[in-house]
Chains A and B, each alone.
Chain A
Amino acid sequence: MKFSWNWLSDWVDLAGRPVSEVANRFTMTVAELEGVEAVGEGLRGVVVGRIATVGQHPNADKLKTVTVDLGGGRVVSGVSGAPNLVVGALVPVALPGVMLPGGNEVRATEIRGVPSGVVLLSEREMALSDDHSGVMILQPRDLSRRCFAGVTSDDASGLPFADGDDFPADLLASLPGKPLVDVVDVEDHVFEVDNKSLTHRPDLWGHHGLAREIAAMLGLPLKPLSDTFPVGPDAAIPVQVDSPIDCPRYMAMAYAGVSIAVSPFAVRHRLRAVGLRPINNVVDITNYVMMAVGQPVHSFDQRQLTGGQIVVRRALETEPFRLLDGRDLALSGEDLVIADALRPVALAGVMGGENSGIADDTVSVVLECATFNPSRVRRTAVRYGVRTDSSARFEKSLDPNLPPCAMAMFTSMLSAMSPGAHPTSRPADFASFSRQAVHIRLDPAFVSRRLGMDVPADRTRSILEHLGFLVSEEGGVFDVVVPSWRATKDVRIPEDLLEEIGRVIGYDQVPPLAPMAAVALVARLPRREMLATLRPVLAAECGLDEVMTYSFDSRALVTRLSFEPPDALALVNPISADAATMRTDLAPNLLGCVERNSARFPDAGIFEVGRVFRATVDTEGVPKQPYHLGVVAWRRLAKGRDESEALFRRVKGALLHLFGRLDLADAVIEDDFEGERRPWMHPNATVAVKVGATVVGSMGLVHPATMQALETPGVAVLAEIDIEALVVAPRKRRVFSPVPRFPSITNDLSLVAADDVRAGTLAAAIRLGGGPSLAAVELVAVYSGPPIPDGRRSLSFRMTFTAPDRTLSDVEVKEAIVRIVAHARAAGASMWGDEGSQES
């Protein structure tokens, strides 16, 4: 929301205060100002002139020659094309040498043979509006309050003159020659505050409320709003409020003798400064009142109110209604409408209807000043996506005492800006709100204790009183009465008062004080403890880069992967159709990373740790959302089984290393995976990841069809582990085993076997044959190709023999090898070079 320094000055005297200082105090005590913008700058050289003569230009039909009185006997002459030149009018003029906004310098020239030494300015030429229809003619109403020191006005708007008033003779004589900026409030400063930071302050949505806040902040007096106004002779318009809970107050009054016209400059200038577009005098007044009082008001063309009555009721289901802006709605029974005898004429608190708005020929007006239920207004505004300045205010819970003030200002401005306009009726006033004041008991010691600094009781009291609270004391405790404009929901409890006191004192006065706390051992979450090790191990030790991806599945991606996620948790309002469900696996997004990265990084591995989601809920109703670990490694250029196996071994090695570092029980990553299969799982290269006997996940080659869908050549290996299962998986206790005292003997054995004979099978055979003296078996090389026949491969194992109590003899080792070879043959292997063993 934007607000104007000049406008504030109607109620609080800010003269002599630096703008930046007030802005800074506002930020520190009320809400952050997003910015301060200077309006009407660059007009310091413009002065007021009085048109003395107007004559026809000798050489041009459309031009006039003028002389302008600049006071003190100084008269200048010039040429103007403006159609509205009137002798006696006060106009802004610029003499040669003056810079105008936009960087144009006024020069003495000759126009069609007539010298011109002055420029009469339009509003557009001064960058005040886009009006270029003629020279700007000053009205008494436009003059700054600074011209009338001591002049008081009973005008509720705070402006001293009505439209149509003539300039008093003394002003007519004294104004010419004065700088425009000293006579008219063209210069202003506009403050902008984020609406979000005023959500809790219904009282700050108009200039008067802001002025009250600033007055309290600066310790200055505040001019009150008037709530009295003249009324007409007729009976009040009948107002029927069907559901008072939706509308605690409804005031309405009729006016006649209205003529629709352009608003005076001062009103248009203020509206424009705060971001509103001037339309016509009646509409501008309603906007002006809203911005001044903070109370939205609505004007109906009285001719359009069928039956001359107002009914505040719920809409009928699907009742048709066309908004002022032309949008057609089918209303809901949850909407509150203002209706006449037949049909809705406004969506209460949100926007009027096209059927009843102010038109150019409107002559009689019905003004609505009401208080609506904040939730109902908000829900209707949200339902139709119609957020207006009006709905934004009503949904904050407005003070039901504001409508008379708004009516007073409207009445006064209407008669000033549309001479002859007057109230014809008494005001209708339906009021069902509670006038019971809100009381809060406040112990002054509470303020000091919770602020953390000593605040004398009388300081607390004076701050509250400045903000409009009534304070009385009994037995050292304050009884604080909350003013009506803060009582709708904002201020309820002692903590709310603490905030009022703290912000006025200034939080920079609070000395930091370290809290005292009991020393206690803080337990760690087992999962967090595991993740604190898991991530660094996978990155620093296993060479995998960590990524984070969205918690949503991409519909386009899972479709390409032929994956229909089971038990997927769908969003009610996804940000896009592509991101409509929560991920059930980490795999799809990680495969997406493979696709994105593999061209630039042809050989790499990544991991992600994060939650995946299920539609299934736990006992509390919360969707299940276990943490998973996903690992994927790829080789874009890989060809053949060797490289696939190498990549597989890389990831398997990483997981085994990780599990070891997590002190998990021995892991097995070779048994066929028997769980629920995903489309990216390879039919015969997917294994279960087991810790002890517990299956914690799966790992395997990515299906060639998936690689094709990803348009990624080469191979990829993917593992997905359920971290929740890992957290509860069996652990291994590290126990020292004595270092062998006797030397060990190492032998290599190369076996040749058919491709489908697994290394694990042969290793098991070797272990079986080796007996107790075989301490370790390690696969050291796998080879296929000449001279090994097609369909077979060679596997070389390194075997370590040792005994705890002696040095093994050659004979013992040879006997063991004979047994091993026998078992290997039984498992389907033959010896490299047809027979015997090779010893190293």
Chain B
Amino acid sequence: MPLGCYKSAVLDAGNPGMDELLREALGEVAEATTIATVKDVEVRWLGKKGRLTSLLKELGGLPPESRKARGAELNSFKQAVEQAVESRRIEVTRAEADDRARAERIDPTLPGHSMAAGRLHPLTRIVAEVEDLFERMGFHILDYPEAEREYFNFDGLNIPADHPARDTQDTFYLPGGNVLRTHTSPGQVRAMRGLTPPFRAIFPGRVYRCEATDASHEHTFHQVEGLMIDRSVSIANMLSSMMTLLEGVFRRKVEVRLRPGFFPFVEPGFELDLRCMVCGGDGCPVCKRSGWVELLPCGLVQPNVIRAGGLDPDEWEGWAFGLGLSRLVMMRYGIDDIRWLMAGDLRFARQF
């Protein structure tokens, strides 16, 4: 109840003593500046042995007709003091917090505590991104052997023995007609044998080439292969899918071009170039001044490969691509030496 209302009520009752008393109580409340003194005032006026209690005790001695009025008067007084105490308490509490805040200081330049979390290998991150991208488009995510039958790595991909293309892939040979796969392409034949067409799938993983290592060559690196098999598949379809892939990976519009490229397991085969993202096509060291960066080989699946996959090339067609993930990781993070990827060095691992 607002104080003003009470005052008029008390004054209306024509009791100047009561009014004086209230002024005194409210004065004390107003003067209290700490929680403790507010409490003291509260006890002094409203407590068991407080002044209000003693006034209430006097009530019994009044005649019944004035007792009621006096009772109402005291009740109003009590409410007014209680209310004043409560709001003063809120004010004082707030004032004390403000005082504390004014006194409180920290040094915000102290370094943040590092979380003890470990880091994922950057290849894991890229693979997860690419897998997610393709899964969103309804691709199977598959995983095939790294030590692979020579048949799947070569013959099934239209690369018979003595084919000169075998030269270009420095192969690690294993006993028993096996090799360390030189590309993720063997998955094309395995996927066709394992899935029911139509389907689309990608298969990322480690591949191996028996070649000397340097800053840009590794005998072990990562690729992802993609394959779409359907009744009718065109170069236009492949081009669209490659652009979708690259826009997903780079998260921006991309400009690409297709050049003829020879791979025995696709016909026609292409090299897909990406408009250089460093110079925008004007020419810079990254793109060897050409404005284009060779990014991925792709093409329409060669009919012999479809046949090796156990399908009838008159019925089924496809496109396929291969993307170098190690290279993509290096582009993404500006890694200047491919050997970091497999070095198991925490100075590298902890940067991601």
Which residues of A are interface residues toward B (Cβ below 8 A)? 27-32, 196-201, 374-375, 378-379, 395-396, 449-453, 493, 495-496, 498-499, 502-503, 507-508, 510-515, 517-520, 522-525, 527-528, 532, 535-536, 538-551, 569-575, 582, 589-590, 592-593, 596-597, 600-601, 604-608, 610-611, 613, 615, 617, 620-623, 625
- A519 and chain B: residue at smallest CB distance: B138
Asked whether, in the complex, the Cβ of A379 is within 8 Å of the Cβ of B219, the reply is no
Asked whether, in the complex, the Cβ of B267 is within 8 Å of the Cβ of A515, the reply is no
With known contacts A28-B257, A196-B168, A499-B260, A621–B176 Cβ distance under 8 A = yes
Question: Which listed residue (A28, A396, A452, A520) contacts B259, Cβ 8 A?
Answer: A28
Chain A residues with Cβ below 8 Å from B212 are 575
Chain B residues with Cβ below 8 Å from A600 are 346-347
Chain B residues with Cβ below 8 Å from A32 are 259, 261, 271, 294
Chain A residues with Cβ below 8 Å from B327 are none
With known contacts A27-B259, A449-B234, A573-B173, A517–B138 Cβ distance under 8 A = yes
Distance, CA A601 to CA B350, complexed state (A): 11
Chain B nearest CB from A464 CB (Å) reads 14
Which of B35-43, B93-101, B145-153 forms part of the interface with chain A? B145-153
- B288 and chain A: residue at smallest CB distance: A35
Asked whether, in the complex, the Cβ of B173 is within 8 Å of the Cβ of A510, the reply is no
Chain A residues with Cβ below 8 Å from B121 are 546-548
Asked if B210 is at the interface of the complex by the 8 Å CB criterion, the answer is yes
Asked whether, in the complex, the Cβ of A503 is within 8 Å of the Cβ of B260, the reply is yes
Asked whether, in the complex, the Cβ of A543 is within 8 Å of the Cβ of B259, the reply is no
Q: A543-B118, A546-B349, A622-B147 are in contact. List 11 more A-B contacts (CB 8 A).
A: A29-B260, A32-B294, A201-B262, A452-B234, A498-B300, A507-B257, A522-B139, A532-B128, A543-B116, A572-B172, A589-B344
With known contacts A32-B259, A379-B162, A571-B174, A601–B346 Cβ distance under 8 A = yes
Which of B53-61, B74-82, B237-245 forms part of the interface with chain A? B237-245
Chain A residues with Cβ below 8 Å from B147 are 569, 582, 613, 622-623, 625
Q: Please give the number of chain B residues whose Cβ is less than 8 angstroms from any Cβ of chain A in the complex.
A: 84
Asked whether, in the complex, the Cβ of A512 is within 8 Å of the Cβ of B243, the reply is yes
- A378 and chain B: residue at smallest CB distance: B162
Distance, CA A615 to CA B147, complexed state (A): 10
- A598 and chain B: residue at smallest CB distance: B346
Chain B residues with Cβ below 8 Å from A496 are 267
Chain B nearest CB from A438 CB (Å) reads 15
Chain A nearest CB from B214 CB (Å) reads 13
Chain B residues with Cβ below 8 Å from A519 are 138
Residue with the greatest number of chain B CB neighbours at <10 A, chosen from A396, A546, A590, A600: A546
Asked whether, in the complex, the Cβ of B234 is within 8 Å of the Cβ of A573, the reply is no
- B349 and chain A: residue at smallest CB distance: A545
Which residues of B are interface residues toward A (Cβ below 8 A)? 116-121, 123-124, 128, 131, 135, 138-143, 145-149, 161-162, 164-165, 167-168, 171-178, 180, 198, 200, 206, 208, 210-212, 219-220, 228, 230, 232-237, 239-241, 243-244, 257-262, 264, 267-271, 294, 300, 302-303, 317, 341-342, 344-347, 349-350
Asked whether, in the complex, the Cβ of B303 is within 8 Å of the Cβ of A495, the reply is yes
Distance, CA A512 to CA B259, complexed state (A): 15
Question: Can you spell out 29 A-B residue pairs with CB atoms less than 8 angstroms apart?
Answer: A27-B259, A28-B260, A32-B259, A196-B168, A375-B162, A378-B162, A450-B233, A451-B234, A451-B236, A452-B239, A499-B260, A499-B267, A502-B235, A507-B270, A512-B236, A515-B241, A520-B138, A527-B143, A528-B141, A541-B117, A543-B116, A545-B118, A548-B341, A571-B173, A589-B344, A610-B206, A613-B146, A621-B176, A621-B178
Distance, CA A172 to CA B275, complexed state (A): 53
- A573 and chain B: residue at smallest CB distance: B173
Chain A residues with Cβ below 8 Å from B237 are 452, 513-515
Asked whether, in the complex, the Cβ of B119 is within 8 Å of the Cβ of A525, the reply is no
Distance, CA A622 to CA B302, complexed state (A): 25
Chain A nearest CB from B191 CB (Å) reads 12
Asked whether, in the complex, the Cβ of A199 is within 8 Å of the Cβ of B342, the reply is no
Asked whether, in the complex, the Cβ of A547 is within 8 Å of the Cβ of B344, the reply is yes
Chain A nearest CB from B326 CB (Å) reads 10
Asked whether, in the complex, the Cβ of A547 is within 8 Å of the Cβ of B174, the reply is no
- A395 and chain B: residue at smallest CB distance: B164
Residue with the greatest number of chain A CB neighbours at <10 A, chosen from B124, B135, B270, B271: B124
Chain B nearest CB from A459 CB (Å) reads 16
Residue with the greatest number of chain A CB neighbours at <10 A, chosen from B124, B220, B235, B237: B235
Asked whether, in the complex, the Cβ of A525 is within 8 Å of the Cβ of B118, the reply is no
Question: Which listed residue (A198, A374, A536, A592) contacts B344, Cβ 8 A?
Answer: A592
Asked whether, in the complex, the Cβ of A622 is within 8 Å of the Cβ of B178, the reply is yes
Distance, CA A508 to CA B116, complexed state (A): 51
Distance, CA A613 to CA B239, complexed state (A): 38
Question: Which listed residue (A197, A498, A503, A513) contacts B240, Cβ 8 A?
Answer: A513
Asked whether, in the complex, the Cβ of A573 is within 8 Å of the Cβ of B116, the reply is no
Asked whether, in the complex, the Cβ of A623 is within 8 Å of the Cβ of B162, the reply is no
Asked whether, in the complex, the Cβ of A551 is within 8 Å of the Cβ of B346, the reply is no
Asked whether, in the complex, the Cβ of A540 is within 8 Å of the Cβ of B118, the reply is yes
